[in-house]
Amino acid sequence: MKNIGMIVAVEIGSVTKRYGESLKSGLCGGFPVMTYSVNGDLLHVLHTGAGQLAAAAGTQALISELGCGLIVNFGVVGGLTPEMTIAKTCIVEKVVHYDFDGGSYSGLPRGHYLGEPSAFVSPSPELLQKALSICPELTPVVCASADKFVEGEENKSALHEEFGAHICEMEAAAIVYTCRRNKVPSMLIKAVSDGITGGFEEFAREVDRVSDLCLELTEQIISEL
């Protein structure tokens, strides 16, 4: 039986719709958490809301308070290239925290933390390969992550040009960095809710449908790990 922590930002409706009443619920690190039995595994779903600080705190709480040995994040993202169309399913291969900027103090490019070999950090490569073997339709992607909702083709294209990123969202960097520090494996499954020319209206129209699809795919992968 795996003891899995799941960080959920804004897609909590998909969780309650799919799993119904939890075995137990409460608080973990000050965040609402619901525990389910899914395919014989314990799944602790922690609802952080959007943003890096909440995602980092929630990830640490799942590890420290509930002893989760695997952290999973599913959710909707913005597409940064024409190939990232609505409902395109992805697995994060690398992530960059693109609004971190040490400027002249660090002398490093935007997104590059002092002491790190690169601006990019990776979730668990072994889990990525296992997930791709289970669901070969997934596309490995570079994720640009920051506390910003990105709208408009010009802004999205600029992120792709600077970082080679395919998608953008608001929690991945915090989750991966925190898991890396704790030496806990992580896996991030994403689906596109708004394409390169889209913005909030497209997101609002597609978020529920795409989120449901992403959770279904994530559950399939977890069950076969």
How many CA atoms lie within 13 Å of 102's alpha carbon, on the beta-carbon side?
A: 12
Q: 48-90 pLDDT, tens per residue?
A: 999 999 999 999 999 999 999 999 999 999 999 999 999 999 9
Angle at 87 between CA 84 and CA 92, to 5 degrees: 60
DSSP 47: E
Give CA–CA dist 208/167, Å, rounded.
18
What pTM was estimated for this model as a whole? 0.96
Paired tokens of 153: 């083709």
How many CA atoms lie within 13 Å of 174's alpha carbon, on the beta-carbon side?
A: 23
Q: For residue 211, count other CB atoms closer than 10 A to its CB.
A: 23
Instruction: Look at residue 202 in the predicted model and tell me its pLDDT.
Output: 94
Instruction: Look at residue 178 in the predicted model and tell me its pLDDT.
Output: 98
Which residue from 214, 169, 189 is spatially nearest to 71, judged by alpha carbons?
189
Return the residue matching tokens 């619920």.
25
Phi, psi dihedrals of residue 143, rounded to the nearest 5°: -110, 125
**Torsion, Cα of 36, 134, 92, 117 (10° steps):** 110
Give CA–CA dist 103/90, Å, rounded.
32
Pairing, β 89-97 against β 139-145: parallel
DSSP 24-39: EEEEETTEEEEEEEET
Give the H/E segment covering residue 216: helix 200-224
Task: Report CA torsion sign: 42, 47, 51, 57.
Answer: negative
Q: 15-61 pLDDT, tens per residue?
A: 999 999 999 999 999 999 999 999 999 999 999 999 999 999 999 99
Please answer whether residues 190 and 221 qualify as being in contact, where contact means their C-beta atoms are separated by less than 8 angstroms: no
Whether 1 has a pLDDT exceeding 90, the answer reads no
Q: 137-195 pLDDT, tens per residue?
A: 999 999 999 999 999 999 999 999 999 999 999 999 999 999 999 999 999 999 999 99
Q: 117-144 pLDDT, tens per residue?
A: 999 999 999 999 999 999 999 999 999 9
Q: How confident is the model at residue 100 (pLDDT cuts 50, 70, 90)?
A: very high
Instruction: Look at residue 154 in the predicted model and tell me its pLDDT.
Output: 96
Instruction: Look at residue 65 in the predicted model and tell me its pLDDT.
Output: 98
Mean pLDDT, the chain, whole residue set:
97
